[in-house]
Structures are given as structure tokens and as C-alpha cells.
Chain A
Amino acid sequence: MNSALAAVLARPDIWRGDAIAVSPAPTFSSGFAELDAELPGGGWPRGHLTELLYEHSGIGEVSLLLPALARLTAAGGVVVLIAPAESASSDYGLPHAPAWAAAGVRLDHVYWVAPQKTRDCLWATVEALRGGAVSTTLLWMGRTTSLTANNVRRLQAAAHEGAASAFLYRPARDAEQSSPAPLRLRLAAQGDALQVDVLKRRGMPLRHSLRLTITRPASLRRVTHAVADTLPRVPGRPLTVVA
């Protein structure tokens, strides 16, 4: 390789198509080494929108972000959780504070916003992102609402403006829709692990799936129906946990 070419390749704004792009935007570690290795810049991007596509709640889709959220809030970063009031109460419920605290998230840096209308969810997310006072927002849209590419573009622009990171939880069926988000991951349960497919990232696409060991409340191998059946049906002392 001649020196002129080497000099060009050394520039930070030039990337080679066969490598993951070195993200010019700052990133923060996801807490999963095998995921960080595949994310441009080595972590979740700041100033950009990240899409998390998933089929059902309860597969570990939030646990995926918990290590990063714990670290962010410990450093004083503000996290805003946004979900439409109606779908939060009927679909998956409300954040249960002890669980978030147990994962190391500092609750005094967390705000929960549950607007009545979907439109207001988008408004709140855009405002939170672009003001610069919030480091991360997580937005859940109801299972029935699909965002248009235009809506997603507005979120991405707001994240860019406020240099904040934004995570958008979307139904898996939206994977087919093209999106302006620079990073898109599809999440699926795989036993007690989480399977992550990188649908889109800056640079080379990733062809294989990642298998992340996320925190799960129990191990898979125990089947306790037998125990459940033998439980005393009469008032008694609190039992101990088996697993």
C-alpha cells in the first residue's frame, strides 16, 4: 500500500467497507463484551436511535439494557422511560421499582412518563432527547401502534440534537420496514439467554446471531410442578425458595 493511500485510510472520516465503521459518535458499553465487540465504536451509540425489535415482553428485552442503565445512572445520567399509559397497564404493566433497583439502576435518576396518547409519547421522547438534560430515553410503543419512518426519523434527529441515546422498542414485524435508525437489533428468547441479531449497523452487516447471557431469575433445569402439587393448602409458615 502506498503512503498516500495509508494516509487517507488513517483519517477518522474514512472507513473501509470490510470493517465495522469506527463510529465518530461517542458510545457507552452495553456491559456485554460480545455485543460491544460487534457494535460500531464498541458500545451503545450516544446521539443516535437504537431500535430493539421483539415479539413479546418477558424475554429479557429490558435486562439487555440494565447493565448500561445502571452505569449511566450511577454516573449521574438521567433516564426517562416512556410508554403509553393504556398499553402499559394492559400489556406489560408498570415498572416494578425493587427489580430495577436490584439491577443497580439508581431510581432517583429515573423518570416514568405515561401519556394517554401515542402522539404525546412521541412528543415527550423528542423533547426529552433534544433538551440535552437527559442521557437516555427508552420508548415502548403499544403492540398495535406502528411508527412511520417519518416518526422514527424525528426521534433520530432529536437524539442527534441532544447528543442523547434513544432506545425504541418495536414489534418484530416492523423489521421489514426500512428505518432511519443507524442501529437495529432483533431480540429473541433462547432458553435462559437472549439471541440478538444485528439487522443493521454502520459498516459490514453481521451474519451470525449473538447469544448473550443476561440476568434471569432462575435456572432453566428445575421443574417444580411436583413441588407445587405438594404445597400445603393450609396456612403455614413462609416457604423457602427451591431454585
Chain B
Amino acid sequence: MLWLTLSPAFPDDRSPSSPETWAALACWAGRFTPRVTLQPAAQALSMEIAGSLRLFGGLPSLLQQVRSDLALQDLRFNLALASTPRASLWLARAGDGSVCIDRAGTLTALQTLPLDVLQPTPEVMLRLSSFGLRRLGDVLALPRAALATRLGKAFVLDLARALGEIDDPPRWFVFPDHFSHRIELPAPVEIAPVLLFAARRLIVTLTGWLAARNAAARELTWRIEHGRTEFTELSLRFSAPVHSVARIERVLKERLERLVLPAAALSLTLLVEHTELREARSGGLFDGVSGGVSGDGEGNREALAELLDRFTARLGEGALQRLTSHADHRPECATRRLVAQAKIDNSAVLSAFPRPLWLLNKPQALKERNGRPQHRGELTLLAGPERIEAGWWDSNENESDVRRDYFIALDAAQRWCWIFRQQENSSGWFIHGWFA
């Protein structure tokens, strides 16, 4: 067992104060291990990281990640590692940045600690100093039974727990089922993109929570609060479940750049209702470090999903479409436009007759001279007719109840177009597409 404990470096207004902020910190810690324990009374968070070292590519890179995440959240903590949670807590309080990876190292590091990091009761503290004991090493050198009679049993038990002589069962933090965290902005924010800095903290917290639950989210709801009741809601939907800080951040950035705030923002909340189980992906057996792109196909698919998410975030939902052909003889219905996430079926039966690559949204009426259709001069008909009868059964609009004779025609500029003549009521020529 290897315990990493975080203790506020300077207990001030920036260090976590409320149970909610401690819970948010625990969620973030889930990024490194699901074995997290909170000690709000002791103002500390501990995590058991022995099982996570390989995943992060060794202790130094894990610690580096922890430090950079803390810097991102603008938090200042002292870190210490030891073989028991209590020892790592004491070492963290001392603030020397001790890294003891085994029991022997822990024991050595504990020797020089000043006694106040144990935070004993005032009377125990008074007694210890009256004995002339200043360092923890001085205390550990004394017979334990004598200490118990003079300083009380609790104090001696604590020592034994710190040394790993007796069990110190931790109370594991239970990761909540839904994610909902709120942060107050240090100052009112008028321009939406500025929110990204604050949002980053919430994203880091969220990804920790997701990692601890081995989950990924498809939809995030951001609530930008302007006052007690007024807020702007921003919903981010992803084409594939996401769990990485960078990906969420990039999509959010595009959305915030388009957003105009109706009033200054005072606080920000991130809510996630539903999560999906993350796709299993084992790291390499021999490479030691995982987390890289596992294969070309996988990495490519992720990169594409990210690109599409950014398209919809910046350009709006309707701007990105997928096309699929639909077995319908009416040209207007033969192309289906679907959202980016849709599954595309390639198997639709196609018409045996040529179809134009571009189809106009609405057929445009053509001028006529002597009954001949004109488009920058007279059109030459090359092939046709292909009669297409509209599905009157499909809709009750008059417009769709038509019979059309389609022709392939060439205009004076040698452009190939698809034109038709309506047979019913007002006959006339229309252009409907281009053989581009």
C-alpha cells in the first residue's frame, strides 16, 4: 500500500472549506484511483495509489499529473507519500514533500517530524513538551507501555497505526451517482469565453469522477447563474461518450465563443445525469505505459468524433449532416439528411436512371419560348422522358400530387441539367438539379 495525502499548504480562504468543496476534490482524485478517503476534520485527502502507478507510467509522472491538476484548480497543497495513511498525513502537514515508498523509509522520515504535526490534544502536547520531547523520533524511542500510561491509550494507538503495526481501516469516499458541482466565480464574468477558466476546474473534477466510475458521458449540462434564480443553460452533446479533459474543453470553447451572456455570470454549475460504461481498452502488456493511442483505427475514430463535435458546437446542430439514399422514387425524398451520430445504411436500392449530383432545394421554373425550355438560351434535350409520379398517398398537399416527365438537358454553356415538365394543371418546365 502506498498512500498519497494532500493537506492545504496555507490554510486560507482558497483551501477547501465546505464539505462540498472537499467532495469535489475527492471526485477529482478519482482520476488517479477509486480508493480515496476524505478527512475533513483533519483537513486532508488521502488516496491509495499503489495500483495506479503502472497506469500513469510510474510515480514521478503520477505526481507530476497531480501537481499540474492542482495548479489548474488553483489549489495549493502539500503532498506526502508513506506506507500508511496516518504517516502520510503527518508528513504532508510537515510540508517537506516526503516521498517514502516503503515502511523503512516511512519510519526514517517520521523520526525527524516535529510533534505538532500529530495535532495531539493540548494536554498531551503540554505533557510531551514537559518531558522534553521535540521530535517524533524521541517519542518512538520510548517504551510504548510507559507512554500509554502517561499520555493515554489513544495516542499510542495512533502511533501504532502510523507505523503500520495495527490496521487503520479507512472510510472510503463513495462517489455520488450523479455529478453536480458548482463553483463561485471569483469576480462577475461578462464575456462567455472567460468562463472557460472556471469551467476547466469543473471539467477536471468531472473527469476524475468519471474515471472512478469507469464511465463516460455523452451529455453535459452547464448552468451559468446570473443571480439567485436566473441562469443560462448550455447543453453539450457529444457524438461519442467522452471522458477526457481536453476533448470536453475544446468543444466547450467553441460553444462559449458563440454565446452571448444576458447578464454577468456569478457562478457556474456542471451537471451530468447519465453516464455510460467506458469501453474496455487494455493497456499493452509489455510497454509499461498506457494511455497513448492504442491503434490507428481507434485514434482516428476518436479524432473524427472530436472534430464532428466541434463542428456542431460552433456551427450549430443543423450545419453538419450525413447523407443517405432512401429507396423512394420521388427525388425530393431520395436523400435523407441525418445528424452526425446516425448510422448510415449503404444498401438502399438505387434508381436505374441517372440522377444529378446536386439537387435544388426547390425546382426553379424555366422560361419558355415556343414551348421549348430556356436557360441562358435554348436547352437541348438529350434523354428522357422518365416519368415520376408523386406519392399522393404520402401527403395531402396538392404540391406533392404531381406527375412529372424528367429530361436530361444541356444548356448553351454546356451545363448538364435535370429538368422536368409538369403534366397536371399548370404545365411548365422546371430545373431540378445539376449533373455536376
Contact = CB atoms under 8 A, between A and B. Distances in A.
A220 to B, nearest CB: 7
A222 B321 contact: no
A115 B433 contact: no
Contacts of A93: 358-361, 433-434
Given A94-B359, A133-B303, A134-B304, A58 B434 contact: yes
Contact of B385 (A59, A124, A227): A227
Contact of B383 (A58, A234, A243): A243
Nearest to A55: B413
A94 B256 CA distance: 30
A107 B323 CA distance: 6
A231 interface: yes
A95 B356 CA distance: 9
B180 interface: no
A97 interface: yes
Interface stretch (A21-29, A36-44, A173-181, A211-219): A211-219
B176 interface: no
Given A225-B381, A235-B423, A57 B436 contact: yes
A107 B344 CA distance: 7
Contact of A100 (B308, B320, B323, B360): B323
Nearest to A114: B319
Contact of A96 (B331, B340, B346): B331
Interface in A190-243: 190-191, 216-220, 222-225, 227-229, 231, 233-239, 241-243
Interface residues of A, number: 69
Contacts of A103: 357
Nearest to B301: A133
Interface residues of B, number: 73
Contacts of A99: 354-357
Contact of A60 (B345, B386, B389, B435): B435
B108 interface: no
B372 A97 contact: no
Interface in A33-64: 55-63
B242 to A, nearest CB: 15
A65 B4 CA distance: 59
Interface string A72-104: 000000100000010001001111111111110
B336 interface: yes
Contacts of A62: 357-358, 436
B384 A228 contact: yes
B436 A58 contact: yes
B356 A96 contact: yes
Contacts of B315: 113, 115-116, 120, 124
A59 B416 contact: yes
A78 B311 CA distance: 15
Given A239-B385, A243-B384, A98 B355 contact: yes
B310 to A, nearest CB: 7
B416 A243 contact: no
Interface string B295-308: 00000110110111
B307 A128 contact: yes
B387 interface: yes
A89 B433 CA distance: 11
Contact of A58 (B350, B415, B423): B415
Given A59-B416, A238-B389, A107 B407 contact: no
Interface string B402-435: 0101011011011111100101000100000111
Contacts of B316: 116
Contact of A191 (B336, B340, B414): B414
Contacts of A216: 416, 435
B380 interface: yes
B132 interface: no
A147 interface: no
Given A59-B415, A97-B325, A189-B415, A107 B382 contact: no
B380 to A, nearest CB: 6
Contacts of A229: 371
A224 B384 contact: yes
Given A97-B334, A101-B346, A217-B408, A112 B322 contact: yes
A75 B9 CA distance: 56
Nearest to A237: B387
A182 interface: no
B325 A131 contact: no
Interface in B218-245: none
A100 B301 CA distance: 23
Contacts of A225: 372, 381
A106 interface: yes
B314 A120 contact: yes
A61 B345 CA distance: 27
Contacts of B356: 96, 99, 217
B351 interface: yes
Contacts of A59: 413-416, 436
A242 to B, nearest CB: 6
A112 B335 CA distance: 12
Give the most central of A59, A61, A233, A241: most B CB within 10 Å.
A241
Contacts of B166: none
Given A94-B358, A189-B414, A228 B320 contact: no
Give the most central of A133, A191, A231, A233: most B CB within 10 Å.
A133
Contacts of B345: 108
Given A95-B357, A98-B325, A78 B304 contact: yes
A152 interface: no
B386 to A, nearest CB: 5
Q: Which 7 A-B pairs have the closest CB atoms?
A: A243-B383, A217-B354, A58-B415, A189-B414, A108-B344, A218-B383, A133-B303
Given A96-B433, A218-B408, A220-B382, 14 more contacts: A61-B436, A94-B361, A99-B355, A111-B321, A111-B340, A112-B322, A116-B316, A120-B315, A191-B414, A231-B385, A233-B423, A234-B423, A235-B403, A241-B353
Interface of B: 300-301, 303-304, 306-308, 310-311, 314-316, 319-326, 331, 334-337, 340, 343-346, 348, 350-351, 353-361, 371-372, 380-389, 403, 405, 407-408, 410-411, 413-418, 421, 423, 427, 433-436
